[in-house]
Each structure stands twice: as structure tokens, then as C-alpha cells.
Amino acid sequence: MPETIEQPRPLVLGSTSRYRRELLARLGLPFEVTAPATDETPLPGEAPRALALRLALAKARAVAAQHPGAVVIGSDQVADLDGQPLGKPGNHERATAQLRRMSGKTVIFQTALAVVCQATGFEQVDLAAVCVRFRALSDAEIERYLQAEQPYDCAGSAKSEGLGIALLDAIDSDDPTALIGLPLIRTCRMLRAAGLVLP
């Protein structure tokens, strides 16, 4: 029977994203999920990088206020096309427009991560920027892809972990899960710094 390690504090994921929940589960740590009540509206003139960092920290702080003894993870991803933020499309028409805009271009997916523990005063924020080069896409390719995968809840309208990989020429990242929504290398580093024990 494997040895069980007592974690010093509960772990809470401050996110409604099923993708982040699935990624965090890979670490084998018990955790709860709490939806952060955070307004995600960009501030006037706010750069995508700054928006992602601000929202990740705001989400972690909002959930930490509800769970002051826990270690809380907040994360946010903003697709950055020529300095303009692209959010989750929400529907077919907006997803089509996003993919047309990204066709043949490099998009930087700014994936921000924050870990907060109110009880100890711990707070760290980091960013994993992922450069994604899209192929030149025809309208027919875009339509076939959207009908097949319906990625309307993903920033940038494409799931690299699914059929969306066929839309791409290259991905450049130092944290492989960042593009899916939670950079696990950075997450592990920050959870260790917050006092949790990982394998």
C-alpha cells in the first residue's frame, strides 16, 4: 500500500474550467474547486499579458478570501494577436472570425498563474507565454474544424490537445500544458514554495 503524505493545507482550484481541473488532477493531489466571482472585463488599453496576470491574481485572491486556510490556484489565459486580446468566442460566428484573423499568423497565448494562501501571506504570480503559429486556413478548413470540435469555450477558438493541432504550424513553449490552460511545471514549483508536498 503506497505511503500517504499528509498535506499541510487544503488545495483549492479557483476556476470553472474543466480543462484546468483535468490538468490539476494529473498531480494526484486532493483539491476542491470553487468558482471565482471575478469580472473579466479588460481595462481600457490593458495589454493581454497584463490582463492575464491581473485576472489570475484576482481569481486566486477572491477564492482565498472564501478559503483563508487553503492554498489557492488562480489562472487565466488571454490569446494575444498583435497586442489585441482574444477571449473565448462563445459561439460559432465569433470563433469563425477569430480563426480567420489568426490564419497565417503567430498568436501568443498568455497563460497566467497565481498561487495565494491568505493564512500564511503567500502570494506568487507567474506567466507562461506560448507562441503558436497558425497555418494559412481556408474558410472550408475553419468550418470543418468548428463543426467537429466546437471549441467555443477556448481562448482563440482552437484546442491544441484535440483536432485543433491540425490548424497549427508550430508551438513554442517551456511549459507543455500552458496552452491547455494551466502551466503544470510552474504550478508544481509554486505549490512547493507554498508548502505543499509533491512527488
Task: Fill in the amino acid letter for 106.
Answer: T
Q: Where are the alpha helices (DSSP H) in 43-116?
A: 48-66, 92-102
Place of cell 482552437: 158
Q: Residue 64: which of 127, 120, 112, 126 has the closest Cα? A: 120
Q: Which residues contact 2 (CB under 8 A, 6 or more apart)?
A: none
Distances (CA, A) of 59 to 4, 64, 96: 30, 8, 29
Contact 96, 158 (CB under 8 A): no
Task: Fill in the amino acid letter for 186.
Answer: R
Q: Is 82 a catalytic residue?
A: no
Catalytic residue among 39, 76, 82, 175: 76
Which H or E run contains 32? strand 32-33
- Across 5-17, b (16+ Cβ under 10 Å) vs e yields eebebebbbbbeb
Q: Name the residues annotated as catalytic.
A: 76
